[in-house]
Amino acid sequence: MGWCEAREQESLQDRVYTPVFLALRGSCLYRFPSPPVTTWDWTRAEKTFSICEIMCKVLKDSDLLDRRKHCFTMQSECGEDFYFSVELESDLAQWERAFQTATFLEVERIQCKTYACVLESHLMGLTIDFSTGFICYDAATKAILWRYKFSQLKGSSDDGKSKIKFLFQNSDTKQIEAKELEFSNLFAVLHCIHSFFAAKVACLDPLFLGNQAAAAATATSASTSKAKHVA
């Protein structure tokens, strides 16, 4: 958690920034006008976002909107864009690591996420499963229409409104099979898929997993030490 400055998009003046306090806690990203002090403060955040359904990106110099460096963006599950600036490069790196860790831990915790969708005027469900991949089933009968592993997804596109076209490779024929689904919450689905893929990639990164194990060991050691002190 910490202070950032948010670029006001609707301001009549250009390059107007407002101090905000951001906090990553459990499954959510919170935005406050001032740091939370009590438990009750956490229920009064200006905005709360599900960590698996947002997209965070550290900006390169060519993507910056003004002279401020060390910026990152966050797109919400509704498609709303937020632009943040921090003072130091080390602060930016810390936020990037924090988002990666929070996303990984949340995906690891929930394991799967299901979204309602429409296929050829029929109500369906799409489950994104960390172990299995993509599963599409009929909402009424629960019958599975198709399933693919993450590795079988070879591409995707969306219309920016509600439809996503997936391109999967059939494991037997090696042919590409297109599946188009319609969602009422397009950006949430897109971001969730990205979060699951990012977690999959993180599982293959020895450095990331090593850092996670070290952090867990430190937390366990601190908890044990505290318990002994209390006893």
Q: Are residues 160 and 76 in the same domain?
A: no
Q: Are residues 131 and 190 in the same domain?
A: yes
Q: Are residues 66 and 150 in the same domain?
A: no
Among residues 27, 23, 54, the alpha carbon closest in space to that of 41 is found at 23
CATH number at residue 130: 2.30.29.30
For residue 117, is it within any domain?
yes
Residue 126 has pLDDT above 60, yes or no: yes
Q: Are residues 195 and 168 in the same domain?
A: yes
> Bigger pLDDT: 186 or 224?
186
What is the distance between the alpha carbons of residues 125 and 103, in angstroms, rounded to a whole number? 23
To 10 degrees, the CA torsion angle through 54, 105, 57, 208?
-170
Residue that the structure tokens 């600036």 belong to: 85
pLDDT in tens, 89-105: 999 999 999 999 999 99
Domains in the chain, number:
2
Q: Are residues 150 and 54 in the same domain?
A: no
* pLDDT bracket for residue 227 (50, 70, 90): very low
For residue 221, is it within any domain?
no
Domain residue limits at 28: 2-110
Residue that the structure tokens 């689905």 belong to: 189
Among residues 80, 70, 79, 75, the alpha carbon closest in space to that of 51 is found at 75
Q: Are residues 8 and 103 in the same domain?
A: yes
Extract the tokens encoding 50.
């599900």
Residue 150 has pLDDT above 90, yes or no: yes
Mean pLDDT (whole number) for 170-198: 96
Residue 119 has pLDDT above 60, yes or no: yes
Which of 31-35, 74-78, 133-137, 223-227 is the least confident region?
A: 223-227
